Amino acid sequence: MAVLPMEEPMCLIGNKEGEDLIVNQEALQILLKITQPVVVVAIVGKYRTGKSYLMNKLAGARNGFALGSTVQSKTKGIWMWCVPHPTKQGNTLVLLDTEGLGDVEKGDSKNDAWIFSLAILLSSTLVYNSMGTIDQQAMDNLHYVTELTELIKVKSDEAQATEEEDDESGEFKRFFPSFIWCVRDFTLKLEKNGSPITEDQYLLDALELKKGVGKKVQDYNLPRQCIRHYFHSHKCFVFDRPASTLALQRLEELQESELESKFVEKAAEFCSCIYGKSNAKTLVGGYTVTGRLLGNLAVSYTEAIRSGSIPCMENAVIALAQIENSRAVQEALTKYEEEMSKQIAKFPTETQEEFLSIHQECEKEATQVFMGLSFKDENLEYQKQLIDELAEKKSKYSLYNEEESAKKCKAILQKLSENLEREILNGKFSKPGGYTQFISEKNLLVDEYNRTKGKGVKALEILQEFLNEKENVEAAILQADQSLTHKEKEIAEQRARTETAEREKQIVEENNRRLEKDIEAQKKSLEEHKKMMEEKMEEERKKLMEQNEWMIKEKLKEQEEMLTKGFHKESEMLKNQIEDIKRKNSAAAERSLLGDILSVIFLPIGLAARELGKGLERGLGRGLERGLGKGPVWRC
């Protein structure tokens, strides 16, 4: 579903003094109901720098996020506002306003670091808001970016141990959002060496590295390296002062006509850029994040921080995949039930083929639901679970189809046999020649039953049960018929036993034919599963390779820049990272899970085939035993 109407923001991650970070359940429920892709824009920066004003503008509102007009920070934790995306139909814009960094009232810099980290982990675009100019003081205020390797892990400890890779920062760009630096109350001229420059060039110049090996140089370069290295795009907006100091104290009350025109124009430009260029959040591998996924990510990361561990992006995605794949299975099963319930009126089906056709259509609908919701089902665990549970549900409906057939057949036989039952009770056949007359009338009944339509798949078995129930009556009439000789009676009994064996054999053959049809349908169904899964895996593989190719291009640009400016050590590090990504891409290109798919798909078919063979042997054996038994049976 689309975004629920949110008239105002609400706290997503609470941050009360002296308490751990906690996800607000009311906000979480809103996210969990959003099935659209989400464009997530988070803003960070020192308190009282006008962050909330920009977020309100993005929401298309004058009020919403608390602006405040004093030195106290108004926003605590992370506040969320979900609104329909103004320009991207089918997407939801999620705005995250964070509490001001460096609030002296908190006295806990670790808290600021976690808020900063969560803003990065949850967003697809990160806006850093600062005052004045981009100078060393502004960089120092952004020191949190230099701490990210200690606050965020890409891979689990087990994966790190396997790959023997200590520095994961080379992978941050794959996960991290785009980066926008907003400089407020900017008073300088955008010039360099007497020539005008763009805002973006101003930022890139500010991110230039210094050569040297001393501690001062390293301290100067570190935040700049992190911004360049971690975020995959860099943009800058510089804003004039919006109004006089006195007017700023009631900024949310001011009309745009009361603000400086250049500030209004720049704010509009900023919003247009966000609307047009900020993409939906994705996970590694190119998986698009919905509101529901974002909510689960928020819980996963926050719980990791609460537990005292470091948020791990790989673990979060794995946990997310487990949640979503379990849900995908349940949604698919629900779809199957919904579609089958629409077909119940057609039960009993005249043939097993008709039932299987209904099942296959409903199963196809269910499988498509699963494929649309599942991701990273790398071991096909959930695919196998779906196949097994669909098979169970098919068995349930098949049994229901048989029960409906049995009920209908019994009702038909009861109605057809009413006159015959009265004649038996009235002794009509207790006379010489009565057996022949009895057989004639019963054959007419059987013929009428066979001509009746809509009996379903149990027609033969229910008729046989009915005939078996009348064996004693038939035997009594045969023995009482004085017009028949002893030899004629023996011939009649032998004929009845032979016909019984033939009918039993016919029933067994019919049941085994149905089993064969079931197995053929299962093969077709599993081939469809296989085809859909192969297509999905191929799509996922292509997305991963595309992301890897994008990473290679990004790092090649970085490497070229480092080489051009003489940073050979950094260039060599980037070269190694590029080679590592190329190896991963080659492995992805060659990887095929077809063998795994085949083992999952076709193992049940082999087992079913063996069971069919056993069933044929048992069934035919029972038919032969019955043929050697005694007792007359109605001929049909």
The mean pLDDT of 165-178, rounded to a whole number, is 82
Residue 561 lies in a domain: yes
The length of the chain in residues reads 636
Report pLDDT for 493. Answer: 83
For residues 307 and 414, membership in a common domain is answered with: no
The mean pLDDT of 157-182, rounded to a whole number, is 76
Q: Which of 314 and 392 is assigned the larger pLDDT?
A: 392
Report pLDDT for 75. Answer: 55
Q: What are the tens digits of pLDDT across the range 395-416?
A: 999 999 999 999 999 999 999 9
Residue 335 lies in a domain: no
| Count of CB atoms situated within 10 Å of the CB of 121 | 23
Q: What are the tens digits of pLDDT across the range 66-80?
A: 754 433 445 578 999
For residues 473 and 596, membership in a common domain is answered with: yes
205 has a pLDDT exceeding 50: yes
pLDDT band at 250 (very low <50, low <70, confident <90, very high): low
264 has a pLDDT exceeding 70: yes
pLDDT band at 284 (very low <50, low <70, confident <90, very high): confident
For residues 280 and 375, membership in a common domain is answered with: no
253 has a pLDDT exceeding 90: no
Pairing of strands 125-131, 38-45: parallel
149 has a pLDDT exceeding 60: yes
Average pLDDT along the chain: 86
Q: Cis check for the bond before 604: say yes or no (omega within 30 of 0).
A: no
What is the count of structural domains for the chain? 2
For residues 303 and 413, membership in a common domain is answered with: no
pLDDT band at 485 (very low <50, low <70, confident <90, very high): confident
For residues 372 and 275, membership in a common domain is answered with: no
Give the SS3 label for residue 132.
coil
Which pair of structure tokens corresponds to residue 383? 């695919």
514: left (phi over 0), alpha (psi -120 to 50) or beta: alpha
Report pLDDT for 629. Answer: 45
Q: Which of 542 and 202 is assigned the larger pLDDT?
A: 202
306 has a pLDDT exceeding 70: yes
Phi, psi (5° rounding) for residue 173?
-60, -30
Residue 400 lies in a domain: no
433 has a pLDDT exceeding 90: yes
Q: What are the tens digits of pLDDT across the range 132-145?
A: 999 888 898 888 99
Last residue of a domain, one of 284, 311, 338: 311
Q: Domain with 490 in it: what CATH number?
A: 1.20.1000.10
Query: Percent of the chain at pLDDT above 70?
Result: 86
**What is the C-alpha to C-alpha distance for residues 588 and 594, in angstroms, rounded to an integer?**
14
For residues 373 and 287, membership in a common domain is answered with: no
Closest CA to 299 of 279, 329, 319, 281: 319
- Exposed/middle/buried for 428, CB within 10 Å: 0-12, 13-18, 19+? middle
Report pLDDT for 544. Answer: 86
For residues 276 and 375, membership in a common domain is answered with: no
For residues 419 and 273, membership in a common domain is answered with: no
Q: Domain with 254 in it: what CATH number?
A: 3.40.50.300
Q: What are the tens digits of pLDDT across the range 603-620?
A: 554 455 445 445 444 544
Report pLDDT for 531. Answer: 87
Highest mean pLDDT among 161-165, 264-268, 517-521: 264-268
For residues 604 and 468, membership in a common domain is answered with: yes
Residue 345 lies in a domain: no
Q: Does the pTM of the predicted model rise above 0.85?
A: no
Closest CA to 138 of 196, 62, 93, 203: 203
Residue 14 lies in a domain: yes
For residues 14 and 116, membership in a common domain is answered with: yes
203 has a pLDDT exceeding 80: yes
For residues 603 and 464, membership in a common domain is answered with: yes
Report pLDDT for 73. Answer: 47
pLDDT band at 635 (very low <50, low <70, confident <90, very high): very low
Last residue of a domain, one of 269, 295, 311: 311
Report pLDDT for 503. Answer: 83
Residue 2 lies in a domain: no
Q: Would you say 53 and 251 are in contact if contact means Cβ atoms under 8 Å apart? A: yes
Report pLDDT for 630. Answer: 42
Residue 331 lies in a domain: no
Residue 274: partners with Cβ closer than 8 Å, 6 or more residues away: 41, 58, 125, 180
Q: Which of 236 and 527 is assigned the larger pLDDT?
A: 236
The mean pLDDT of 153-179, rounded to a whole number, is 75
**H-state helical runs in 342-433:** 352-373, 381-416, 418-425
Residue 341 lies in a domain: no
For residues 22 and 94, membership in a common domain is answered with: yes
| Count of CB atoms situated within 10 Å of the CB of 2 | 16
Report pLDDT for 249. Answer: 56
179 has a pLDDT exceeding 70: yes
Last residue of a domain, one of 273, 294, 311: 311
The mean pLDDT of 564-573, rounded to a whole number, is 88
Which structural domain range is residue 420 located in? Answer: 367-382+405-636
Q: Which of 88 and 596 is assigned the larger pLDDT?
A: 88
Q: What are the tens digits of pLDDT across the range 343-388?
A: 999 999 999 999 999 999 999 999 999 999 998 887 889 999 999 9
Closest CA to 498 of 635, 636, 627: 627
The mean pLDDT of 173-185, rounded to a whole number, is 94
The mean pLDDT of 326-338, rounded to a whole number, is 97
Half-sphere exposure of 440 (CA within 13 A, CB side): 6
Report pLDDT for 634. Answer: 43
